[in-house]
Chains A and B, each alone.
Chain A
Amino acid sequence: MTTIRNLDLAIIGSGPAGLAAAVKAKQLGIKDLVVFERDERPGGILPQCIHNGFGLQKFKEELTGPEYANRYIQMAQAHSVDIELDSTVLEIDPNRNLTAVSEYSGLRNYHCRSIILAMGCRERPRGAIGIPGTRPAGVFTAGQAQRLVNIEGYMPGENIVIQGSGDVGMIMARRLTLEGAKVKAVTEIQPYTSGLIRNEVQCLHDFDIPLMLRHTVAEIHGDKRVEGVTVVEVDTDWNPIDGTEKLIACDTLLLSVGLIPENELSKLAGVSLDPQTGGAYVNEVLETRVPGIFSCGNVLHVNDYVDEVSNQGEIAARGAFYRIKNRMPAREMRISIAGDQTVGQVVPQTISGELPVTFYIRVKRPMQKMALRIGEIFEKKIPYARPSEMIQVRLSKKSFSQMEPSTTRLKVSCED
């Protein structure tokens, strides 16, 4: 019979969301907390993200991924945060019971007054986009290749094609070029890159790497190892245009075709998920629809910047603090937030109207000179918006006082 340990707060994941949540929770006075990390070291994906550009908002410096992680690890140590490494959470339930396992401590059971989900996201694999052809060695996701090169010290190949212009894909185009590989093309099915403009310039233009917009990999060739890919131009509905097929000889194909929040544990706890974000439905303190369970960072919705991920960790920690102290000021989540057809996704999906709110919004298609509206209470002209750049709007508690008390719905809309 295993014993059950009581915890005020369990945080699952020690990446930028989990560590920021832990530090904030300690600062708020939550003493009895444990961070569960399945890897041998804290930091999540950051240790393999050796490029710079992290932390501009949080630290006013351009740090590399390992440096950013290091700052938070230092803070966590200064606050005596208990990080259980090599510990995998196997199960959580709606009553906030948690089961974890590790080689050293075996199976352990906890009952938690609150849980913060901070498990991050996964890369969309080949199967998810269904590229036809053979199944040779040499097909990797961009993040896999990043780990191979930056942590293990192996090159995935010499002649490389990258499918998808996500940020990790573009960053790996540069990284592999620096290490002596030839990146023959980056293909992108959309008419614009799906990553940040900065990465398009500094990773592709800087090294004359061809970016093929409105193109996709139609087939993978090769028996034991990739020998080439057929790329094809697509029309506006993403259908291949006959006669535009081109064979590119290569030994490696990297996929950078999107990230998916990793919510397997959340589902076990009965957390309901928003099909738009792939993450939990949350309120303004990032509490899911299961009381006491919070979600932040890339498991909530895929973010552009690590600073945002950490900010959400802090918001979730505040939410957990309210829950533990039985002081949740927002008792009733009476207002639902919904985007119209111009909005790809919006977080949070419900609010109380009694607390300040940070809205995270993505437009569905690139827009210029648009007006962003949140119900009747907020309007802002934005010169330029693209799906790859998340828009943030912070509204104070006061903003909601202009609202009719009977309001149950706020519409988010973007107009050209």
Chain B
Amino acid sequence: MSNLQELICITCPKGCVTTVWKEKGDIKIEGKICKKGKEYIKQEYIEPKRVLTSTVVVERSPIKRLPVRTREAIPKKKIFPAMNELSKIRIKPPLKIGEVIISNLLNTGVDVIASDDLL
């Protein structure tokens, strides 16, 4: 089966190892896994998502970098394109924590927000 994947559950410290595949449109999971873990593994199989955290360049301030993050998780495959977008950003103080730095990042519907105050 080409759609076979080995996935480790991270919902708890146990780190259960599962084998996941698609059969007639259904997602099958092999390996002992709890209810909460099942949901995670399914999502991870369909489309793995991650919250991206990084920094952007600050100008005209003794502070050199501002930490930022995506407000919600974005598809894993968009992480490097997103880093590329972040590298183009130049900001100046003042900015408050939670302020939008990039709205609708790469059409994901997710904003990039400041994760610290920049005074």
* Chain A contacts for B33, CB-based, 8 A: none
Instruction: Identify 6 new A-B residue pairs, CB closer than 8 A, beyond the known A52-B51, A64-B53.
Output: A62-B51, A151-B65, A178-B54, A178-B79, A197-B13, A200-B15
CB<8 Å pairs between A and B, sample of 27 = A47-B67, A47-B116, A50-B67, A64-B53, A64-B67, A64-B115, A66-B116, A70-B116, A70-B117, A149-B55, A150-B67, A152-B64, A153-B64, A178-B54, A178-B80, A196-B13, A197-B8, A197-B10, A197-B14, A197-B15, A198-B10, A201-B10, A202-B10, A206-B50, A384-B14, A386-B13, A389-B13
- CB of A409 within 8 Å of the partner chain: no
* Chain B contacts for A384, CB-based, 8 A: 13-14
User: In the assembly, what is the distance between CA of A151 and CA of B115, in Å?
Assistant: 13
How many A residues face the partner with a CB closer than 8 A? Answer: 29
Structural contact, B55 and A150, CB atoms closer than 8 A: yes
* Chain A contacts for B116, CB-based, 8 A: 47, 66-67, 70
* Residue in contact with A67 in the complex, picked from B8, B57, B115, CB distance below 8 Å: B115
Label chain B's interface by main secondary structure: mixed
* Chain B contacts for A206, CB-based, 8 A: 50, 76
Minimum CB–CB distance from B69 to chain A (whole Å) comes to 6
Interface string of A57-96 (1 = CB under 8 A from B): 0000010111100100000000000000000000000000
A150's closest neighbor in chain B, by CB? Answer: B55
Interface core residue of B15, B53, B76, B117 (most chain A CB under 10 Å)? B53
User: In the assembly, what is the distance between CA of A52 and CA of B54, in Å?
Assistant: 10
* Chain B contacts for A411, CB-based, 8 A: none
How many B residues face the partner with a CB closer than 8 A? Answer: 23
Interface string of A19-50 (1 = CB under 8 A from B): 00000000000000000000000000001001
* Chain B contacts for A178, CB-based, 8 A: 54, 79-80, 83
User: In the assembly, what is the distance between CA of A298 and CA of B55, in Å?
Assistant: 26
Minimum CB–CB distance from A137 to chain B (whole Å) comes to 21
* Chain B contacts for A397, CB-based, 8 A: none
Interface string of B8-29 (1 = CB under 8 A from A): 1010011100000000000000
Structural contact, B8 and A64, CB atoms closer than 8 A: no
Structural contact, A153 and B57, CB atoms closer than 8 A: yes
Which residues of B in the span 58-80 have a Cβ within 8 Å of any Cβ on A?
64-65, 67, 69, 76, 79-80
- CB of B106 within 8 Å of the partner chain: no
A53's closest neighbor in chain B, by CB? Answer: B51
- CB of A243 within 8 Å of the partner chain: no
User: In the assembly, what is the distance between CA of A202 and CA of B50, in Å?
Assistant: 8
B58's closest neighbor in chain A, by CB? Answer: A153
A391's closest neighbor in chain B, by CB? Answer: B13
* Chain A contacts for B4, CB-based, 8 A: none
- CB of B97 within 8 Å of the partner chain: yes
Q: A150-B55, A178-B79, A198-B10 are in contact. Are A64 and B50 (CB under 8 A)?
A: no
Which residues of B in the span 20-42 have a Cβ within 8 Å of any Cβ on A?
none
- CB of A383 within 8 Å of the partner chain: yes
* Chain B contacts for A66, CB-based, 8 A: 67, 97, 115-116
- CB of A205 within 8 Å of the partner chain: yes
User: In the assembly, what is the distance between CA of A51 and CA of B68, in Å?
Assistant: 9
User: In the assembly, what is the distance between CA of A404 and CA of B10, in Å?
Assistant: 42
A205's closest neighbor in chain B, by CB? Answer: B8
B79's closest neighbor in chain A, by CB? Answer: A178
Interface string of A95-132 (1 = CB under 8 A from B): 00000000000000000000000000000000000000
Q: A197-B15, A202-B10, A384-B14 are in contact. Are A50 and B64 (CB under 8 A)?
A: no
Minimum CB–CB distance from A45 to chain B (whole Å) comes to 13
* Chain A contacts for B10, CB-based, 8 A: 197-198, 201-202
Interface string of A146-157 (1 = CB under 8 A from B): 000111110000
* Chain A contacts for B13, CB-based, 8 A: 196-197, 384, 386, 389
* Chain B contacts for A62, CB-based, 8 A: 51
A199's closest neighbor in chain B, by CB? Answer: B10
B67's closest neighbor in chain A, by CB? Answer: A50
6 smallest beta-carbon distances between A and B, as pairs? A197-B15, A66-B116, A50-B67, A153-B64, A198-B10, A389-B13
* Chain A contacts for B14, CB-based, 8 A: 197, 383-384
User: In the assembly, what is the distance between CA of A65 and CA of B115, in Å?
Assistant: 9
* Chain B contacts for A50, CB-based, 8 A: 53-55, 67, 69, 115
